Amino acid sequence: MSETQATTQDQQDPQEHWIETPKGRLFARSWGPDAAQGAASEAAARRAPIVLLHDSLGCVTLWGTFPQTLARATNRRVIAYDRAGFGASGARTDRLTAAFVRDEARHDFPALCDQLGIDRFIAFGHSVGGGMAIECAAQHPQRCAALVTEAAQTFAEDRTLAGISAAREQFRDPAQFARLARYHGDKTQWVLDAWIETWLSPEFADWSLDTVLPHVQCATLAIHGSLDEYGTRVHPETIAARVSGPARAAIMDGVRHVPHREQEAKVAAMVAEFLQGVEG
């Protein structure tokens, strides 16, 4: 039995996994619906799980309680993993290239799916993880049952770069750095550089998902906060307009860059409603 086909008892508590890749070991955690759901919970184990791709400073722990809330709302297994260099995954010393969003979908994400026995998946990505989720859907169309983006960027917008520049100044404060180090430890400086130096580099200025979006064939939900400090609504509207499958943009009034933290239950309910029409 694959790790995605957990027993009802297993689904009561999160499970931890380690994924072997050429860049080192990746840490992953998975959640299932409540065991109290009985037969429905067993059916969930056979459905495509939701795989979460975190933001530029994120990790499994920083998803908070959202993965379990999402698992209960959707009656699907939810899996989150730390990208190489983040959280509990192995450290990195290399500098990210301008192709790092695409490369995640080509290398480490397939390794995760293969080693956890995931034949079909629902990609859910936050911020730059949303761009990675788009790449996953585009590069693996036969395996991707649906796509959810949250606060995703589709190009290096001026508002995005301004927000990153402001964050660079904030993280000069030792207290801010120390708070982030609670999640990334000795990797914290690398995590910051991977975000700030990559996005603000001249090489990244022309990055765009314009040619990628038409290759997304599955149903798509693009969630975005109206007050997002790292991107305007042009991003979810571009996603909804350019993917080949059925899609819609959902703008959440009064919400900033992390909708799943600001309105956890509402985001989970939106995704659950969206996935009702998804097969698999």
The tokens of 70 are what? 């999402």
Write down the pLDDT at residue 110: 97
Instruction: Give CA torsion, residues 32, 36, 37, 38, to 10 deg.
Output: 100
Cα–Cα distance for residue pair 175/191, rounded to 1 Å? 16
pLDDT tens digits, 207-262: 999 999 999 999 999 999 999 999 999 999 999 999 999 999 999 999 999 999 99
Cα–Cα distance for residue pair 21/105, rounded to 1 Å? 13
Q: Which amino acid is at 150?
A: E
pLDDT tens digits, 38-93: 555 566 667 999 999 999 999 999 999 999 999 999 999 999 999 999 999 999 99
Please name the residues in contact with 268: beta carbons below 8 A apart, sequence gap of 6 or more: 66, 69, 70, 72, 73, 74, 260
pLDDT tens digits, 115-160: 999 999 999 999 999 999 999 999 999 999 999 999 999 999 999 9
pLDDT tens digits, 269-280: 999 999 998 877
Considering the segment(s) 10-155+209-275 as one domain, its CATH architecture is: 3-Layer(aba) Sandwich (3.40)
What are the boundaries of each domain within the chain?
10-155+209-275
User: Which helix (H) or strand (E) covers residue 89, if one does?
Assistant: none
Q: CA 80 → CA 17, 112, 113, 205, 249, distances in Å? A: 10, 10, 11, 29, 23
Cα–Cα distance for residue pair 22/222, rounded to 1 Å? 32
The tokens of 151 are what? 């606060």
Write down the pLDDT at residue 278: 86
Please name the residues in contact with 151: beta carbons below 8 A apart, sequence gap of 6 or more: 55, 126, 127, 130, 223, 224, 225, 228, 230, 231, 257, 258, 259
Cα–Cα distance for residue pair 161/208, rounded to 1 Å? 14
Cα–Cα distance for residue pair 17/181, rounded to 1 Å? 22
Is beta strand 15-21 parallel, antiparallel or unpaired with respect to 50-53?
unpaired
